Structure 1
Amino acid sequence: MLAKAAGLRFSNDPFWHIAHFDEQATIVDDLLAGRRSIDEVVRRYPAYFSAQIIKDPNFSFIYPELEHRFPDSPRLFIVRDPRQNIRSILNRLRIDGRLEALGPQQERALDHARGWQAILAGDGLGISHGSHIARLAQRWNLAIERYWERRSSIRLVRYEDFLADKSGCIADLAEDLGLQVVRDIHDEQDRQFQPRGNRSVTPEQFFGRHNLALIESICAEGMARFGYEPSLAHA
C-alpha cells in the first residue's frame, strides 16, 4: 500500500517467490541458520531486490545482514498482537487453534507446505522445544527482540494502529520516509490478501484456555512492551 500510494515499485515476499519459482525449495531456513548469506541471495536473484520497497516477514530475523547489505536503506518493522499473529497463521493453514499437538493429519498437510512446516518447526532459529503453539510464540519473541535491539534506527508500526486508520498511517509513513503520496488508495486499502477469520471468535474460544495461556505466558514481556493486554490472569 505504501508503494502504491507513493507510485513506487515493490517486491513482495522475495524469499517465497525464489523458493517457489526459482529453487523449488525453501531458502529461509538456510538463511536463518547462516548456511547462506543475504549477499549471495541478492547477487543470484537481483530482480527481487531491485524495487524501492521490499517486504518480507523473514527480514525480521536477519537485520544485521540486511544492515550490512543495504546500509542506506530505511527499515520498517510492523508488530502485531502475538495472539492474532499466531491465529492468522493457523487460520491460513486450517489448523484448529485448540490443538495442543499436531496430529498425523496436520503433519501430512504440512508435508506439502514446506515453507510453513519450517516456520512451525522453528527451523534455523534454535527453536526446537515445545508444541507448535509454543514455537510460534517463541518466534514472535525473537522477531520483536531483533527489532528492540535496533529500535533507534527502525520505524515501528503497530498493525492495530494501521487498521484503525489505514490512510493516515500510510500518509504518516510516507512523510517519515521522505516519500510523496501521489495516488489515492482508498479503493484498495481494504483488500484481503489472506482469507479472513471469524472476528467474532474470541482468543480463548479460538485457542482454548491452555494454548492461550501458553502464548500469553511466553510473550508476556513483549506484549507489555507494545501495549498488548493479557486476557487471562496468570499466576
Structure 2
Amino acid sequence: MIPLRSTLKNKLTKPNPNPILILGFPKSGTSAITGLLAQSTGLSATIDTKYLWEPYLSQIIENKLDFKKHLYKNSYPFSKKIIKEPNLVFLVDQIISYYKQPKIVIIKRDKEKNIKSILDRLNLPGDLVSNPRPDKVNKNWHSLLFENDRHYVKTLSKKYDLAQNNLKKLSSLNPIFIQYEDFLKDKKSTISHLTSTLDLSEKNDITSILDKPFQPSSKNKKSVDEFFGNNLKYFK
C-alpha cells in the first residue's frame, strides 16, 4: 500500500483536542518515555514534529504565526493520542490557551547531563572558549545554542532555566512529573506507574524493548567535569 502524502494526511485528520503531552527540555529522555508508553498502551504517538522546529518555532513565539491555525494546517502529527516535541517547552502559553483538558507529563533531567547530551548529539565539545561556527551546527538547533554574543554553554543553561520556569505555568493542569535519572534505574516500573496514573491500560509487554534507543545515544563517556572544563562556570 502506498503511504499517503503528508499533505493528504493533514487534510484527513484534525488535531487531538485532549492529547497526552510529553514535555521536557531537548535530550531529557522524552523520546524513550514516549516510545515505551506508546508501545505499552498501544496508543498512537508523535515523537518529534518538524512543524514545531525552526522557522515555525520563532514565528509562533513572536506571534507571527497563529498556533491554532498552524496545528490545523499541519494536523497529522497533532492528531495522535500522545504528542512529544521538545520545543513545546517554549510554547507553554500556547498550550494553555489552545488545549482545554490535556494530560501533561513533564520529564526533568539533571541540567549539566542534559546539556552534555545535547552537545554530544551535535558532536560538539563542551569546553570551547568561543562559540562554534553556526554553519557547523544543524540549523534546527541554532535557537537553542546561539543568542546574541552569549557563550553557547551559557545560552543552553539559560534556555534550560527558561524551559523549567515555563513548565511551572502548567501546575493548574496537575502534571505528572518524572525524573529521568529515576526512570533509568527502573524503566519498566516507571512506565507502569505512568500508565496507571494516566488511567491507561497496559496492553503489550515492553520488556524486550526497554533499552531500545529511540534517539541516537551518546558514546561520550567523559564526566561532566571533564566534558565542560572551565565552562562549568556558566551553570552558576
Q: Post-superposition shift, 1:53?
A: 0.2
Partners of 1:108 and 1:63 lie apart in 2 by: 30
Between 153-162 and 137-146, report the one with greater CA deviation.
153-162
Amino acid in structure 2 at the alignment position of 1:107? P
Partner of 1:3: 38
Q: 1:37 to 1:129 in 2, by over 3 A?
A: farther
**Does 2:146 align with 1:117?**
no
In the TM superposition, residue 183 of structure 1 has moved relative to its aligned partner by 0.6
The answer to whether residue 201 in structure 2 is matched with residue 180 in structure 1 is yes
Which residue matches 1:145?
Answer: 165
Q: Could you say what the CA RMSD is over the residues aligned between the two structures, in angstroms?
A: 1.7
Displacement of 1:182 after TM fit?
0.7
Shift of the alpha carbon at 1:27?
1.4
Q: Give the TM-score taking structure 1 as reference length.
A: 0.79
Maintained 8 Å contact 2:96/2:170: no
Of 60, 81, 86, 1:31 maps to 60
Alpha-carbon separation, structure 2, partners of 1:182 and 1:2: 10
1:19, distance to aligned residue in structure 2 (A): 7.0
Question: Which aligned pairs between 1:86-105 and structure 2 lie closer than 5 A?
Answer: 86-103=115-132
Q: What is aligned with 1:225?
A: none
Instruction: Tell me if 1:164 matches 2:199.
Output: no
1:57-89 CA-to-partner distances (Å, cap 9, x unmatched) read 111121221122221111111111111111111
Instruction: State whether residues 44 and 80 of structure 2, in contact with CA within 8 Å, keep that contact through their aligned partners in structure 1.
Output: yes
Identity %: 26
CA deviation digits over 1:176-195, x for unaligned, max 9?
A: 11111111111112112213
How far off its partner does 1:37 sit?
2.7
Q: What amino acid is the match of 1:28?
A: L
**Is 1:196 matched with 2:218?**
yes
Q: Which residue identity is paired with 1:114?
A: K
Q: Secondary structure at the match of 1:171?
A: helix
Q: Distance between the aligned counterparts of 1:158 and 1:26, measured in 2?
A: 30
Q: Find the aligned partners of 1:168 and 1:176 in 2 and give their Cα distance.
A: 12
**Offset at residue 129 of structure 1 (A):** 5.2
User: Within 2, Cα distance between the matches of 1:149 and 1:33?
Assistant: 19
Alignment of 1:54-133 (within 5 A): 54-103=83-132, 106-110=133-137, 113-122=138-147, 128=148, 130-133=150-153
Please tell me the residue identity of whatever aligns with 2:183: F
Distance 1:5 1:172 in 2: 12
Distance 1:85 1:32 in 2: 23
Other-structure match for 1:40? 69
CA distance in 1, matches of 2:232, 2:177: 26
2:68 aligns to what SS in structure 1? helix
Quote the Cα distance in structure 2 between the aligned partners of 1:3 and 1:57.
17
Residues 24-63 of structure 1, C-alpha deviations (whole Å, 9 max, x = no match): x631121223322320211101111111000011111212
